């Protein structure tokens, strides 16, 4: 669905809470579809699948799984925000500019940090489990 196909939302304050929540869910799922089309998000998903396999093989505790899932979701959150930044910058500054480069580089650095934390946690948990054997 393109932005031209999307119907205008009702004026603020005119929908009840259930309709508002349902609409917000629809917008969130649409954002998830946009994110799923991004190669970086698919690579992060592959990283999570590899982490889950390693966790299953070494017998990781539920609390460590919970932290890994939270860190993975956090990395997707940052990736979604980075994608939004890139879309906005491409719209505002379609020409090559230092402004656009810096904005995109900052978004990329944020993703790098989030993925580093997720990956670092995974390596630490798996390493600790292997050393404990």
Domain ranges of the chain: 1-37, 39-131
Q: Is 54 helix (H, G, I), strand (E, B) or coil?
A: helix
> In the structure encoding, which two tokens stand for residue 106, read together?
């900052």
What pLDDT, in 10s, does the model give residues 14-53? 678 898 889 899 999 999 999 999 999 999 999 999 999 9
pLDDT at 13: 65
Q: Which residues are catalytic?
A: 79
pLDDT at 16: 85
CB atoms within 10 A of CB 93: 15
Q: CATH for 39-131? A: 1.10.287.3610
Angle at which helix 39-58 crosses helix 17-36, to 10 degrees, equals 90
pTM above 0.85, yes or no: no
The arithmetic mean of pLDDT across residues 73-95, rounded, is: 95
pLDDT at 51: 97
> In the structure encoding, which two tokens stand for residue 132, read together?
């404990």
Q: Are 67 and 113 in contact (CB under 8 A)?
A: no
Q: Are 93 and 100 in contact (CB under 8 A)?
A: yes
Q: Work out the mean pLDDT of the chain and round it to a whole number.
A: 92
Q: Is 94 helix (H, G, I), strand (E, B) or coil?
A: coil
The arithmetic mean of pLDDT across residues 60-87, rounded, is: 97
The pLDDT-based confidence of 3 (bands split at 50, 70, 90) is low
Q: What radius of gyration, in Å, describes the C-alpha atoms of the chain? A: 19
**d(Cα 110, Cα 114) in Å, to the nearest integer?**
6
């Amino acid at each position: 669905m393109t932005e031209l196909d999307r119907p205008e939302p009702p004026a603020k304050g005119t929908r009840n809470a259930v309709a508002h929540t349902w609409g917000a869910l629809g917008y969130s799922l649409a954002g998830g579809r946009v994110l799923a089309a991004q190669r970086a998000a698919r690579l992060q998903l592959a990283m999570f699948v590899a982490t889950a396999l390693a966790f299953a093989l070494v017998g990781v505790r539920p609390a460590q799984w919970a932290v890994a899932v939270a860190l993975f979701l956090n990395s997707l959150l940052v990736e979604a925000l980075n994608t939004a930044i890139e879309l906005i910058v491409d719209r505002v500054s379609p020409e090559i500019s230092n402004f656009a480069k810096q904005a995109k580089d900052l978004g990329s650095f944020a993703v790098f940090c989030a993925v580093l934390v997720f990956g670092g946690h995974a390596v630490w948990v798996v390493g600790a489990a292997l050393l404990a054997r």
